[in-house]
Amino acid sequence: MFRLLSALANAWNIPELRKKIIFTLGMIAIYEAGIFIPVPGVNGKELGRIFDELAQTTGGGLLNLLDMFTGGALSNATIFALGIMPYISATIIVETLLATAIPSLERLRKEGMSGYRKLHQYSRYATILLAVVNSFMYAMLLEKAIPAQFNAQIVLFPGWGFRILTVVTMTAGMAMIMWLAEQITDRGIGNGMSLIMTASIVGRIPLAIRDIGLRLGPGGLGESPIAPLAFLFMLLLFLTAIAIVIFVEQGQRRIPVQYARRVVGGKLLAGQSTYLPLKVNSGGVLPIIFAVSLLYFPIQIAGFVPQLRGIADWFNRTSLGFNLLYALLILFFTYFSTAITAHQFLEAAEQMKKVGAFIPGIRPGQSTVDYLDRILTRVTFIAAIYLIGIAILPDVVMAWMKIPPRVAGFFGGTSLLIVVGVTLDTMKQIESHLLMRHYEGFMRRGRLRGRR
């Protein structure tokens, strides 16, 4: 702990790094302020009550899960209700999926910085398009689906005026979030998208602590009081989950690589040994995000089709059917996200063959590609099991210990992966600044490894 505080104090003493940290905190503060600015024409208090009721009756539901990613802006219908998710989804679709499938975009990706700027501009356009679609669906959800299910008046003045106003307001809010994220990435410390999402999740911690405090002890309030011994078990489980996430996120499968002997300047140089690092969880949190987005799609459709409004009742996070479907989607998207980047191993095999490097016991060329593919398949299976366990753990804890969704969400799932991963990446960047100026890092031995 002393070493950590000392490293943070050294970081504050570096003027350039101090400016980056202050700027990042300022951008996050602007985002946190925008969470509390409501969209005109919405009864936010009644909407918040309905979200709390959903949390009690459906085990949290997907709407409550998405509400955590927005820092509570979704349940209060504020200008930042869409959160950072449309920006992340658009970036993944354009710069990862489409850039791999469409040759013209793939050529842009290989052009360097100029091509990256064009791809990123396309991602911005896609973000605005997704924001328009999502905000319109959200307006219809507030105007028709929720009032029909709960017999409550959420929208004060229904009609196309409210829908257009909601689309314009929330799309502008999404553009503001996108600008804040890019400013943090360019002029601050860390990745802007990740830090804004982390700030949204961390901002829910006080409410989670309040929920625990109301239920703690034999005389705790609420339907399910928490005994002190059960609270200690929850704390131990929470720390264990953090340790497992840190261990796996920094885990690598190191494949040995041997360089052949070379003749340089008439001298015979002995071959060198190194390794090819293969991340255990190369897909990161993307498989869970994709799975949640796909599961949320039927709820959005139900807002337009009255006959399907009862489908939201099936999406109970504590039900066996929902969790089985959730696990299968995570398994599929884990292999899918890994397959997108599998071409890198073909390029690595070709590059190794050009420089005279080889994997001991494996012939260069296609045999090396097949070997790397087998290793990647096994490692991906381990990553899929790990992601399924982390994603479903909050639902298991919530159903077993009868604790609120806001509390259970911190025992695993996307929230824990994002917070731990972003913290590691940000600390790695700060440590690199410290080491450049001959300060000690956060660790006595070795260096921090981020997720990339």
Per-residue pLDDT of 81-127, as tens digits, reads 888 888 887 887 887 777 777 888 778 877 777 888 888 888 899 99
Q: Structure tokens of 146?
A: 């929720």
Q: How far is CA 396 from the centre of its chain?
A: 21
pLDDT value of residue 294:
74
Alpha helix stretches (DSSP H) within 155-268: 160-187, 192-202, 205-215, 228-249
Helix (H) or strand (E) holding 255: strand 252-259
Domains of the chain: which residue ranges?
2-436
- Could you tell me the CA-to-CA distances from 150 to 50, 154, 311 in Å, in that order? 8, 10, 15
**What's the whole-number mean pLDDT along residues 133-146?**
81
Cα–Cα distance measured from residue 82 to residue 177, given in angstroms and rounded to the nearest whole number: 9
Q: Which of 62-71, 283-292, 325-334, 425-434 has the highest mean pLDDT?
A: 325-334
Task: State the virtual CA torsion across 258, 260, 261, 262 in degrees, nearest 10.
Answer: -120
Report which of residues 149 and 277 the model is more confident about: 277
Instruction: Provide the mean pLDDT of the chain.
Output: 76
Q: How many CA within 13 A on the CB side of residue 363?
A: 3
Helix (H) or strand (E) holding 81: none
| Amino acid occupying residue 374 | R
Q: What percent of the chain has pLDDT over 90?
A: 7
**What's the whole-number mean pLDDT along residues 340-360?**
71
Q: Which of 179-193, 249-263, 271-285, 409-423 has the highest mean pLDDT?
A: 179-193
**What's the whole-number mean pLDDT along residues 402-425?**
72
3-state secondary structure at position 258: strand
Question: Residue 135 in contact with residue 142, Cβ under 8 Å?
Answer: no
Please identify, in words, the CATH class of the domain defined by 2-436.
mainly alpha
pLDDT value of residue 359:
80
pLDDT band at 171 (very low <50, low <70, confident <90, very high): very high
3-state secondary structure at position 263: strand
Q: Is the pLDDT of residue 25 over 60?
A: yes
